[in-house]
Amino acid sequence: MGMHCLLSASSAHRWIHCNKSARLEENFENSTSVFAEEGTYMHELGELRLGRYIGAVKESNYKKKLKAVQLNQFFNSEIEESVEVYVAFAIELIEATRKSCKDPIILLEQRLDFSKYVKSGFGTGDLVIVADGTLEIVDLKGGAGVSVSAECNPQMQLYALGALILFDCLYDIKAVRMSICQPRLNNISTYELSAEELLAWAEDVLKPAAQLAWDGEGEFEPSEYTCKFCRAKATCRARAEKNLEMARFEFRQASLLTKDEITEVLSQADDIAKWCRDIWAWAEAMAIDGEDFEGFKVVSGRSNRAYGDEKSVIKKLTEAGYSDDEIYARNLKGITALEKVLGKKVFSEVLAGLITKPPGKYTMVSDSDKRQAVILNNTAEAEFKEEI
């Protein structure tokens, strides 16, 4: 997927808003994760499938490469189905473009250089379609945690900018369309803006922010979004100072705070909780490596008994005369797993009226949450009235 750069497209939201975080992160190892490796694998499989479709991979080579890919530890039916959703979406875009343009350029995993605006800046476009009038950029997201929107997404806009710089001299590009395909969350998000608007953003917003970030200047702007994947989030002083501002309430009981004070605490409570968890995780890792924190120690956690070799256990029990009913437990599969076995249509027909979905427990979230608010009949407004 390419080498890492200081001002990467994937971290653009962070260094555009929290300029100083880019240089601060250099003090921390840029480690990978199982989720990142799984995402890389999904991109490889998607590239292979689409490469075959557009003729970039010959059939004989495709079969060999597919066999190798299927031996990967991440290959399973769920991953394959997710990639197929992306491939189907990509093919739909390709065919629509071919109808309107005789000779579109179709590129897979294309390196896109936007160093004209961001020093040493580059990224990789999963799918780039260039035609007269329109530039299409598609990004596959393998995550199943948080839904990602293409609207005003700086990572997508950087990819589009790199493609525009590369192909604008060959095609008269007026519109730029960016799509994020996130199969595991049934999320396909598309955002369009004019080439003129994209270039204005690059000149007025991107370029000055990138220069500040490169120089290690500008501001720290800790927030839920800038801190989430920042390598320095556990020990960042700016984040600590922001969260410790809440200490002025001296941890008074909620009933002793005004409604405005409660609202202020609520607006930062989630960030404070995450910050505390990040610090704990960082300190725990350091302690396990030998660092000493006064008042804390490393202990062995509770463990559960486990079979060393299940096949040997089954063999021994069978030889001892125990029946399958005594050895094995039979449980009804979960709804999602059973639906996969039967197929959605058969599942709906056979189990019609037997599947229920009770209302979820009420919970309070911020206004940024996309779920519909519940209309309640009661109100606690009077509880927060201040004495005059």
Q: What is the per-residue pLDDT across 177-191, written as a single tens digit (0 to 9) for each?
A: 999 999 999 999 999
- The sign of the dihedral angle between the CA atoms of 209, 214, 220, 226 is positive
Report yes or no: 223 and 17 within 8 Å, Cβ to Cβ: yes
Question: In the chain, what are the domains?
Answer: 12-215 (3.90.320), 234-288 (no CATH), 310-345 (no CATH)
**Does position 382 have pLDDT exceeding 50, yes or no?**
no
Mean pLDDT within 152-181 = 93
Amino acid 377: pLDDT: 67
Amino acid 120: pLDDT: 93
Q: Which token pair is 264?
A: 């202020």
The SS3 of residue 180 is strand
- Tens of pLDDT, residue by residue over 205-220, are 999 999 999 999 999 9
Sequence-separated (6 or more) residues with CB below 8 Å from residue 50: 87, 90, 91, 108, 127
How far, CA to CA in Å, does 9 sit from each of 108, 121, 153, 206?
17, 8, 10, 11
Q: Which token pair is 266?
A: 């609520």
- Tens of pLDDT, residue by residue over 12-59, are 999 999 999 999 999 988 877 888 899 999 999 999 999 999 999 998
Amino acid 221: pLDDT: 92
Burial class of residue 192 in the structure, from the number of CB atoms within 10 Å of its CB (0-12 exposed, 13-18 middle, 19+ buried): middle
